[in-house]
Amino acid sequence: MKLGDVERLRGELAEFVGDVFGSLPRRDQRRWGACYLRGLMLDGRRKSIQPMAARLPDGDMQALQQFVNQSPWDPLPVRRRIARRLSEAIAPQVWVIDDVSFPKCGRASAGVARQYCGALGKRANCQVAVSVHAATDSASCPLEWQLYLPREWADDLERCRRAGVPEGTVHQEKWRLALGLLDNVSGWGLEAPVVVADAGYGVSTPFRHGLEERGMSYVLALTGKEVAHELEAEPYRPDYGGLGPPTLARYRTAPRSLALHAADAAAAGRFTEVLWRQGSRGPMTSRFAVMAVRPAGKQSLAAAQTAGGGRSRWDGVLPAATVLVEWPAGHDAPTGYWISNLPPDTPVADLARWAKMRWRVEHDYRELKHGLGLDHFEGRTWRGWHHHVTLVTAAQAFLTLRRLDPKVRTPA
């Protein structure tokens, strides 16, 4: 936005800040919060503190630095209020779990390490965060964030101390962080409609079981390399020979890849054309099939044995799951796989729409990064990073609420 456009929003922004930043105890903190949000929305190549302060008529670099990096305000109540307001406004159809990377030089910034960086498409020095977003086909907004702490950081207490990592913070896999974020958002009185995520989460059997334990429905991407038995397959228990441990129940045939199951479904003519969304350029359609299978593999086997009372007591039956497969006309192979705990008679159009809605967060990241400077934070501390992403989330939430208001036209 131009400076004049941002200045004309001062009244509306002050009302918004008074609501979502109401947990901040001091008036000057709320004032600098509003100032920071105006800096994020204002046109400019960099949205770090120094250039933002220079652009704003009331910008004060030292005050903004202190507000973001040192001030001990808690970002969680701010995110909670944003989540409640946005969930009421957009009525999300899914919650999207995703992670995002921030290329970073040096090794002093909290959580920075050489790891896979999605922003660059390769291993590089970066920070990684896990997020949960509320989404519909037409609107979305982040609800909660957590910075990922690599093991090398968790094992170096002095390094953590210098970066302000809270005492007791330990390394957790991203899927565990995601479950923690879902617990936070659920604890705010919000209910997950359907949880969707990419294959990095979908292939994790413990993550899927964590969602099931929480009573959450999901549609999670897979790679197609996962293996499964036919739904009708039944295990048998070989006769005990009298020596060694008791024989275990097993399936008579080896599990097959989902790609082979999909080929069987195609040969049986089970793929149908499905309209899954009305796009700006017309109807969006593709061919889908729904299969009921019994996921196999080491993780599925271990989880089933644990749920069955242990390896020796397990009856050998692997739980069933619903798998959605996309195979567009003219393609030699499927282009997408998703696993779900919803029943196999769930309308395929619903499954396809929820599965595809994960890409809505790409709109979030485009605005958050390119428009609002999500990855422009130049500080090093854990607190500063979480303050910055909370403020960027607030800026996007404010703009989203304006876009949803039919009486308002938001300046470009």
- Residues 33 and 84: their CA atoms lie apart, in Å, by 19
Structure tokens at 121: 């498409």
The mean pLDDT of 340-360, rounded to a whole number, is 94
Q: How many residues does the chain have?
A: 412
Please give the mean pLDDT across all residues of the chain: 92
Tell me what pLDDT residue 407 has.
65
Query: Residue 309: pLDDT above 80?
Result: yes
pLDDT at 411: 43
Tens-place pLDDT, residues 17-44: 999 999 998 999 999 999 999 999 999 8
What gap in Å lies between CA 84 and CA 81, rounded to an integer? 5
Q: C-alpha dihedral over 343, 347, 349, 350, to 10 degrees?
A: -60
- CA dist 265 and 262 (Å) reads 5
Q: How far apart are CA 84 and CA 279, in angstroms?
A: 28
For the entire predicted model, the pTM comes to 0.92
Question: For residues 143 and 133, is the Cβ–Cβ distance under 8 A?
Answer: yes
Mean pLDDT for 60-80 is 96
The whole-angstrom separation of Cα 357 and Cα 196 is 8
> For residue 189, is pLDDT > 50?
yes
Residue 240 DSSP one-character state: P
CB-CB neighbours of 51 under 10 Å:
18
pLDDT bracket for residue 410 (50, 70, 90): very low
Pairing verdict, β 122-135 and 140-147: antiparallel
- Mapping DSSP onto H, E and C, the string for 303-339 reads HHHHHCCCCCCCCCCCCCEEEEEECCCCCCCCCEEEE
Return the pLDDT at 249: 83
Percent of the chain with pLDDT over 70: 98
127 and 388 Cβ atoms separated by less than 8 Å: no
Per-residue model confidence as pLDDT tens digits over 136-181: 988 899 999 999 999 999 999 999 999 999 999 999 999 999 999 9
Share of the chain above pLDDT 90, in %: 79
Q: pLDDT band at 406, cuts 50/70/90? A: low
pLDDT of residue 55: 93
| Tens of pLDDT, residues 229-252 | 999 999 988 777 777 777 788 898
Tens of pLDDT, residues 366-396? 889 989 999 999 999 999 999 999 999 999 9
Q: Is the pLDDT of residue 312 over 90?
A: no
Using CA atoms, how far residue 44 sits from 32, 89, 379, in Å, is 19, 29, 19
DSSP state of 69: I
Q: Report the candidate in 342, 253, 265, 340 with the shortest Cα–Cα distance to residue 296.
A: 253
Per residue in 207-228, pLDDT (tens digit) is 999 999 999 999 999 999 999 9
Question: Which of 29, 33, 19 is closest to 390 using CA atoms?
Answer: 33
Q: Are strands 94-103 and 195-197 parallel, antiparallel or unpaired?
A: parallel
Per-residue pLDDT, averaged over 395-402, amounts to: 94
